[in-house]
């Protein structure tokens, strides 16, 4: 990996480059899904997406723990690591910490907004995100339980696309 460009960037330019990378990360993910759907069908794209999102977050969490020395377990560790997760930054997860639970809410999902703007129906993301959050959380602490309160295809209020609850088993 050639990091010479990154090493040469000052803070403002480095911030812009990170924004560029995150934007293209999301765009690549979106077009990958759309083209798999176009080439095969939505059910195949969903299965592949769910499989990928069942694996990648654990790898990401493991790497975040190592790179940023995040060794806290439990719900505190989940929140600490989640703040580094690219999708938290891209989507703007609203994280609410309570003593016995963590709530992650998505008031406005860029993926769903883009689909609706283009005349597509909402993407049924519930199972994909279940796998994402379970995979990520399990890597932080195997005791963390993930519960979806609602996510497409579920009905949801106009001001909230999805909401997830995290608790510790045995708490």
Instruction: Using pLDDT thresholds of 50, 70 and 90, give the confidence band for residue 170.
Output: confident
CA atoms within 13 A on the CB side of 133: 26
| Number of structural domains the chain divides into | 1
Q: How distant, in Å, are the alpha carbons of 42, 64, 115, 139 from that of 142?
A: 32, 16, 34, 6
Chain segment 28-42, per-residue pLDDT in tens: 999 999 999 999 999
Chain segment 134-159, per-residue pLDDT in tens: 999 999 999 999 999 999 999 999 99
Residue 72, C-beta contacts closer than 8 angstroms, at least 6 positions apart: 80
- Residue 143 is part of a domain; what is its CATH number? 3.30.1380.20
Domain membership of residue 95 as a residue range: 4-168
Chain segment 158-167, per-residue pLDDT in tens: 999 999 999 9
**What is the pLDDT at residue 13?**
98
């Amino acid at each position: 990996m050639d990091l010479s460009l990154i090493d040469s960037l000052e803070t403002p330019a480095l911030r812009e480059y990170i924004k560029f990378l995150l934007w293209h990360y999301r765009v690549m993910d979106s077009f990958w899904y759309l083209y798999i759907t176009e080439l095969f069908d939505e059910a195949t794209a969903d299965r592949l997406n769910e499989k990928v999102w069942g694996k990648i977050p654990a790898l990401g969490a493991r790497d975040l723990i190592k790179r940023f020395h995040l060794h806290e377990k439990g719900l505190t560790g989940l929140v600490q690591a989640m703040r580094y997760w690219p999708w938290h930054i891209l989507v703007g997860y609203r994280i609410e910490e309570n003593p016995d639970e963590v709530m992650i809410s998505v008031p406005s999902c860029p993926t769903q907004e883009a689909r609706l703007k283009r005349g597509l129906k909402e993407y049924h993301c519930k199972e994909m995100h279940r796998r994402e959050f379970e995979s990520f959380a399990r890597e932080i602490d195997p005791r963390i339980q993930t519960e979806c309160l609602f996510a497409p295809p579920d009905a949801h209020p106009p001001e909230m696309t999805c909401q997830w609850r995290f608790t510790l088993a045995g708490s």
